[in-house]
Amino acid sequence: MSPEPVVTVTRYEVSCLPEEHRDRRSFSMSVAYRGGEKWCVTDTFECYDLDGHPSFEGRASCRDDAWSARHWFDLVTALALANRLAPAMRVNGQSVADVLARGGGQ
């Protein structure tokens, strides 16, 4: 008998840009699974706390429980945080609003 596959959602993407926009990847937050029903909000480089302050996550051996408690959340909280932060993202001095106003996303 073959084993049954297990499907696990490990990442959600949150962005104010349309899916087909060429800059969407740069202007997206990720809600990434960290195990134990905990999720972090990341821009690929850093994780965010509830106040929206970024912090480098580092390796598991370099993180302490206090850091994890400040940056890892239940899914509902993480999605709410990502939805709050996504409209305020800036990349190379450009805001989401600047990119949308510029147009030409395809």
Longest distance between any two alpha carbons in the chain, whole Å: 56
Q: For a pLDDT cut of 90, what percent of the chain falls above it?
A: 83
The label of the residue with tokens 């499907």 reads 7
- 55-92 pLDDT, tens digit per residue, is 988 777 677 889 899 999 999 999 999 999 999 999 99
Phi, psi of 31 (to 5 degrees): -105, 110
The residue among 103 and 25 whose pLDDT is bigger is 25
Contact 86, 15 (CB under 8 A): yes
pLDDT reported for residue 16: 96
